[in-house]
Structures are given as structure tokens and as C-alpha cells.
């Protein structure tokens, strides 16, 4: 694995920058070229671009309550950053990188909530929730972090 100080100084910030840039660019493109509620099928009914203004958190929970969503997002980011720092000191290299995905996605969505009052969602898979690039980063980062921690715990027990 890469030498951690290199990751800490270059790799993690680069990942965060790429996630935030990809998310903000795709959101801007959707807002500039589509109307809220507009749907563009990509693969039949299975995959489409669907412009939604989400004022809630995951799966539109707490919809319309900006303060709760900003607070929850901020707490998520702070927890991720604290764990990144803790894991970095413990010598784990993968967990801080994965949590960088979570923190970057959270920061990008938080920026939308603060600037616009909503998060732009645009990826629709069938009847599943509508989401964005930041949501993908948060979800993948969380799942992969849990798997990595399970593997680390298992290695330490042996």
C-alpha cells in the first residue's frame, strides 16, 4: 500500500477534490439543461436522468427541514474526519481513503444545501431513490469502510 504520509498529503485531498468536482459539475449540467421533474430515459425504464430537488437527507427523510439536514450532514462529516484522523494514527491506510469518499460526498451535498437550500439529484434506477455522484461516493465509502474494518478486526484477532 502507499506510504501513508503521501496519502495524507496528496492522495486523500485529490480524491476529495475529484469527488466534489465530479458531483458539482454533473449537478450544474443538470440544473442548466433540465427542468425539475424532467426525465430523460437512458436505458429504457431502468436508468434515466431525472432532475429532482431534494430538500431532505437520504431517501428524502426530513424533507423540507433544512436545519436538520445541514446538522446531520455536518455531524456525518465531522465523524468521518475524526475517524480518518484516528485511523491514520493507527497506521491503517485504506480506511482514511474510503472515509475521504464519505466526507467529500457529504461536503458536496452540504455545499448545495447551504447555497441552494436543496440537493440536486439526477440518477434514477427504476423505482429506486434518485441520487447523485456525492451519494454514490458516500454509499460506496460507507460500505467499503465497513468491509475494511471487518477485515482489520479479523486480522487483529488472529
User: What is the bridge-based pairing of β-strands 39-43 and 47-54?
Assistant: antiparallel
Instruction: List, as one string, the DSSP characters of 12-62.
Output: HHHHHHHHHHHHHHHHHHHHHH--TT-EEEEETTTEEEEEEEE-SSGGGTT
Range of the domain at 68: 4-157
Backbone Cα Rg of the chain: 17
Confidence at residue 43, expressed as pLDDT on a 0 to 100 scale: 93
- Of 45, 112, 121, 158, the active-site residue reads 121
For the entire predicted model, the pTM comes to 0.79
Confidence at residue 2, expressed as pLDDT on a 0 to 100 scale: 47
Question: Which residues of the chain are modeled with pLDDT < 70?
Answer: 1-9, 56-70, 73, 77, 80-81, 83-93, 153-158
Q: What is the pLDDT of residues 62-74, one digit of tens each?
A: 565 666 666 776 7
Q: How many domains does the chain have?
A: 1
CB-CB contact of 90 with 6 (8 Å): no
Indicate if 23 belongs to the active site.
no
Indicate if 112 belongs to the active site.
no
Amino acid at each position: 500500500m502507499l506510504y501513508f504520509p503521501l496519502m495524507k498529503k496528496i492522495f486523500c485531498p485529490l480524491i476529495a477534490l475529484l469527488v466534489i468536482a465530479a458531483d458539482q459539475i454533473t449537478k450544474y449540467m443538470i440544473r442548466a439543461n433540465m427542468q425539475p421533474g424532467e426525465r430523460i430515459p437512458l436505458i429504457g425504464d431502468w436508468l434515466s436522468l431525472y432532475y429532482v430537488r431534494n430538500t431532505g437527507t437520504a431517501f428524502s427523510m426530513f424533507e423540507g427541514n433544512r436545519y436538520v439536514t445541514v446538522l446531520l450532514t455536518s455531524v456525518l462529516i465531522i465523524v468521518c474526519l475524526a475517524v480518518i484522523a484516528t485511523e491514520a494514527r493507527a497506521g491503517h491506510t485504506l480506511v482514511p481513503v474510503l472515509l475521504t469518499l464519505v466526507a467529500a460526498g457529504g461536503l458536496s451535498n452540504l455545499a448545495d444545501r447551504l447555497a441552494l437550500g436543496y440537493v440536486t439529484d439526477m440518477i434514477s434506477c427504476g423505482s429506486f431513490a434518485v441520487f447523485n455522484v456525492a451519494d454514490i461516493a458516500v454509499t460506496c465509502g460507507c460500505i467499503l469502510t465497513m468491509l475494511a474494518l471487518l477485515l482489520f478486526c479479523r486480522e487483529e484477532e488472529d
